[in-house]
A and B are shown apart, each in its own frame.
Chain A
Amino acid sequence: MQTPDLVPIIPELILLVTALIVLLVEPFLKSDGTGRIDRTALIAITLTGLVGSVAVSLGLSGEDRESFAGMLVLDSWAVFFNVLFGVGAVLTVLMSPGYLEAHRRHLGEYYALLLFAVIGMNLMAAARDFILLYVAIELMAISSYLLAAFFRYRIRSNEASLKYFLTGSFASAILLYGVSLVYGQAGATNYSATGRAMGEIMQSAATGGKAGVLLAVFLVAIGLAFKVSAAPFHMWTPDVYQGAPTPIAAFFSVGPKAAAFSAMMAAFVAAFPGALKEWGLFFIVLSIVTMLAGNLYALVQTNVKRMLAYSSIAHAGYLLAGVGAMGWSGNTLPGQGVMIYLAAYTFMNLGAFGILAYLKAQMPKGFDYSLKSLAGLGRRSPWTASLLTLFLLSLTGIPGTAGFIGKFYVFSGVVWADLWWLAVVGVLLTAVSAYYYLRVVIYMFFREPEREYTLKEPIGGAMAASLAVSAIATVAIGLVPSWLWDAAASGFGALLK
């Protein structure tokens, strides 16, 4: 038996080793006498591992190496997402300690689980085979279920985890069923082999064969639609985000979602090119429903964390519009827009959630993320309020921010595909979203609180670093997006090779 080439999975191996080191080191950490244990070392190890993994990915970016009999490839597609997930995880790790300390649940497992989830996400982007895709999704998902339940003494956290687990397993089952249908018809699970076989079936006139292919495509699409929380499969999202620890909710909203999008685009482009129009149309319909549901539900939320959860559904809708337009037009232009949007979304959404995590730790007891509790923040903590405003404006899609660039590229792809009506629906719902994002701004700057309050500490330490990176990236992508476009283009180039 031939030894597989291990080079393409070095980034994942680094993460695996780091996670194990974190678990091993934790018991040896000394308490400082008051019962509190300084876990800075764990954070340092985790960050080193993540940064190392990202660096190795970037170093290997020109290699284009296939391994495990074509099951996975480390090409510029995978590197793009490895970097994105790595950066997202770094930002999450940085915003966590303050929040976890405030809840007295600062444990090593947290970082280890996060690393395991990142391994799963990396593999999802690198997978070129449905079996590996399934395994990677499960690795990511099981780590996520545990992270959602990290505050195990809180009912809400348990509810979040259980809901996530049940719906997630359900989705995995549907996906697996789709994969089994794919295997049954194509005789392969490898994307490109599947693509060839499925293409032939679609070419031939037999209606039965076509229906079988479409059913398989449909089931795989639904399985992944669950993961990106597309409506009508979004029910779990708000409850999970609300119940999970805030930094974890932040991570969920960007990491696994981006991973699912990367897997979705890779699998559908490579494995189902025979049914481009069909799955394109399916995602277009899904995108309209998702944009509508996300934006309209977000409109009536009074809890900011929940509003952000619904807004993340809305953003999934815009992204799906890009994916759908890509299938419909058979061109990667909208897909490149989706990649840029995912990058932009990672920073702005992590930033917004990061502010909430900071507020939860620093606001007086009883802070419940409600709009009312944010009243007057602009006067009491101008920096916090200004940063949150920046992130919300970016989520709205105001020019000068990353959010605008993301929307611009996605809708530009959609219009390119001659689906201008879809773009009109999208931008009009963006205008709706302006209302609920700006309402937070209204409370922070235009209203005064019912009771006087002060924040315990100004933003500092790791949290400051996380927010600063998010804010700078949000503005930087907003002003100079060309390099992202090139990276996305070379990613698709590698995928289609």
Chain B
Amino acid sequence: MSLTLLTFLPIAGAVVMLIFMRGRPSAYKTTALVTSVLTLGVAIYLAARFRTGTAGFQFIEDHRWIEGLGISYHLGVDGISVLLVLLTTLLTVVAILCSWNSIKDRGLAFFISLLVLETGMLGVFVSMDLFLFYVFWEIQLIPMYFIIGVWGGPRRVYAAIKFFLFTFVGSVVMLVAILAVVWWYAKNGGPLTFDILELQKAGFSGPLAVWSFIAFFVAFAIKVPMFPVHTWLPDAHTEAPTAGSVVLAGVLLKMGVYGMIRFCIGFFPEVAVKAMVPVLILSAVAVIYGAVMSLVQPDMKRLVAYSSVSHMGFITAGLFTFNQQGIEGSVLQMVSHGVLTGALFMMVGFFYDRTHTRLIEDYGGMARPMPVAAAFFSLFVLGSLGLPGLSGFVGEFLILVGVFQYAKVFAVIASVGVVLGAAYLLWMYQRTMFQQTNEKWLSLKDLSAREIVSLAPLVGMAVWIGLYPHTFLNLLHAPTQNIISQVQPYLAERGSSLLEMVGSLFGGF
């Protein structure tokens, strides 16, 4: 029951708010916060009771749901999902805290949307049934659509519909792939089932595996987002309210990578190995492209959004190296990116609340009126660009080690991305916090206690992962080994010389 409790606690809170607390902002805000903190508590409790060292799924719940089609209500978590559940619950608390005063219009609906969104995200990470996974995967689109569309910036309608349609197109094609693999397995000796673990045993091969891999991969690549299907991201991030951006960057993008781990690699290890080089190339393009685009953005929020494209490029690259360091680094970097980029969006949000502009050129010398904010901002900027001692470094370093083992070319490209990352982040920091002080902003108030409280857990996480990543990596060893053992037989078949790589690129699948 513990995972059901975890997943549906936010919705329960939302229902209580809807029924009893209409028109009472302080009551529903408090309830929302309490609900999210309780959910975080459940998540921490689960993580504490989680047995590391085994790749098996834990806290399993399995009830039959739609018997005619072998669909069940099947929940469970492994090390990867536990980590992402923790990230989700933490960021939701933070998101609720940071929208405390900035959401003035229709607050009840906003906080309900956030909680419903939390249920959707948690459901994605704990589902062990494809049908259930798909249900949660799609359901979280709706609250996010409203969060962007109702409480967003001036171009919110465009951004909301673009966000929705991009993801929706990807996921409906994935639905056909889901049906295709399920029926293929049922017709070729297996049971009719949507159970993820059962389907992982199916050993899909041939054209079906290739096409299904592509369908799954495109759906997840849109969510990540990988180059060239990333174009919804800058718009959605820029227009979304701060809490929306935090959750979007922090969790929603991770769902894409999570899906790749579970399905693209879990179901089709053979095709995944074949797709290694194309994916690495796309990731490398994303790393450089995202960084270069960040350099030229005049809008702070857009800059952070493009930096996400670059950082997510690292993550997909690490994942598709299929070695211990690469995969572990990739998952750890997901958490780290969630924390740090979430924090950067919050900082931008806090500045925006005071100045009502996000353009870098309007700022300057903010460190003088807001020294505390500047200190926090510097911490997150440095963490994000990979300063040793903070979380960004550990993930990026592991990924680079992993990529280097596979192909030095990509390691070189990726490290160029790191350098560019330092460039755009520090340059932005310099232009906004230092240089000529804008007279208008001299009277601005520094961060309030509430804002500091909402940032504190993120600082804690960044430092914790940076100094003692063992806590988190410990969760990842067993699942990573599991992934590697799945792809190992296919990996052995191919070398990794550059010539073969190029050959495989043009040879396609």
A427–B176 touching, CB < 8 Å: yes
B40-48, B141-149, B338-346 - the one binding chain A? B141-149
* A420 touches B (CB below 8 Å): yes
What sequence of 0s and 1s flags, for each residue 53-65 of chain B, a beta carbon within 8 Å of any chain A beta carbon?
Answer: 0000000000001
Q: How far is the CB of B254 from chain A (nearest CB, A)?
A: 20
In the complex, which residues of chain A have a beta carbon less than 8 angstroms from the beta carbon of B175?
408, 411, 427
A416–B183 touching, CB < 8 Å: yes
* A263 touches B (CB below 8 Å): no
In the complex, which residues of chain A have a beta carbon less than 8 angstroms from the beta carbon of B106?
379
Return the chain B residue nearest A482 by Cβ: B66
B135–A438 touching, CB < 8 Å: no
Q: Which of A393, A404, A408, A486 has the most CB of B within 10 A?
A: A408
A412–B172 touching, CB < 8 Å: no
Q: How far is the CB of A23 from chain B (nearest CB, A)?
A: 44
List residues of B (122-136) whose CB comes within 8 Å of A's CBs. Answer: 134-136
List residues of A (406-461) whose CB comes within 8 Å of B's CBs. Answer: 408, 411-412, 415-416, 420, 423-424, 427-428, 430-431, 434-435, 438-439, 441-442, 445-447
Q: How far is the CB of A338 from chain B (nearest CB, A)?
A: 15
In the complex, which residues of chain B have a beta carbon less than 8 angstroms from the beta carbon of A424?
173, 176
* A199 touches B (CB below 8 Å): no
* A52 touches B (CB below 8 Å): no
Q: How far is the CB of A104 from chain B (nearest CB, A)?
A: 37
Q: Which 4 A-B pairs have the closest CB atoms?
A: A427-B172, A399-B135, A415-B179, A431-B169
A482 to B150, CA, bound (A): 36
Q: How far is the CB of A245 from chain B (nearest CB, A)?
A: 32
A482 to B69, CA, bound (A): 9
B153-161, B304-312, B420-428 - the one binding chain A? B153-161
* B439 touches A (CB below 8 Å): no
List residues of A (293-329) whose CB comes within 8 Å of B's CBs. Answer: none
Given A399-B138, A445-B149, A446-B157, A485-B169 contact (CB < 8 Å): no
Given A399-B139, A485-B68, A415-B176 contact (CB < 8 Å): yes
Given A398-B141, A430-B172, A435-B149 contact (CB < 8 Å): no
In the complex, which residues of chain B have a beta carbon less than 8 angstroms from the beta carbon of A485?
66, 68-69
Q: How far is the CB of B472 from chain A (nearest CB, A)?
A: 32
A320 to B416, CA, bound (A): 54
In the complex, which residues of chain A have a beta carbon less than 8 angstroms from the beta carbon of B210?
none
B168–A446 touching, CB < 8 Å: no
In the complex, which residues of chain B have a beta carbon less than 8 angstroms from the beta carbon of A446?
149-150, 156-157, 160
Indicate which residue in B146, B157, B179 contacts A423 across the interface (CB closer than 8 Å): B179
B residues in contact (CB < 8 Å) with A:
65-69, 106, 134-136, 138-139, 141-142, 145-146, 149-150, 156-157, 160-161, 164-165, 168-169, 172-173, 175-176, 179-180, 183
A486 to B67, CA, bound (A): 10
In the complex, which residues of chain A have a beta carbon less than 8 angstroms from the beta carbon of B141?
398
A423 to B178, CA, bound (A): 12
A residues in contact (CB < 8 Å) with B:
379, 393, 397-400, 404, 408, 411-412, 415-416, 420, 423-424, 427-428, 430-431, 434-435, 438-439, 441-442, 445-447, 481-482, 485-486, 489
A-B pairs with beta carbons under 8 Å apart, 26 shown: A397-B172, A399-B135, A399-B136, A404-B138, A411-B179, A415-B179, A420-B176, A420-B180, A423-B176, A428-B169, A428-B172, A431-B172, A434-B164, A434-B168, A435-B161, A438-B145, A438-B164, A441-B149, A442-B149, A442-B157, A446-B149, A482-B65, A482-B67, A482-B68, A485-B66, A486-B68
Return the chain A residue nearest B208 by Cβ: A420
A460 to B134, CA, bound (A): 36
B66–A481 touching, CB < 8 Å: yes
> Contacts A399-B139, A411-B179 given; 7 further ones with Cβ under 8 A?
A399-B138, A404-B138, A420-B176, A427-B175, A431-B172, A442-B160, A447-B157
A427 to B177, CA, bound (A): 11
Indicate which residue in A415, A431, A442 contacts B168 across the interface (CB closer than 8 Å): A431
Q: How far is the CB of B447 from chain A (nearest CB, A)?
A: 31
A398–B172 touching, CB < 8 Å: no
A489 to B68, CA, bound (A): 10
In the complex, which residues of chain A have a beta carbon less than 8 angstroms from the beta carbon of B169?
428, 431
In the complex, which residues of chain A have a beta carbon less than 8 angstroms from the beta carbon of B180?
415, 420
A427–B173 touching, CB < 8 Å: yes
Q: Which of B106, B135, B156 has the most CB of A within 10 A?
A: B135
A428–B68 touching, CB < 8 Å: no
B142–A398 touching, CB < 8 Å: yes
B142–A393 touching, CB < 8 Å: yes
Q: How far is the CB of A121 from chain B (nearest CB, A)?
A: 27
A424 to B173, CA, bound (A): 6
Return the chain A residue nearest B181 by Cβ: A415
A442 to B146, CA, bound (A): 9
A445 to B183, CA, bound (A): 40
In the complex, which residues of chain A have a beta carbon less than 8 angstroms from the beta carbon of B156?
446
Q: How far is the CB of A92 from chain B (nearest CB, A)?
A: 28
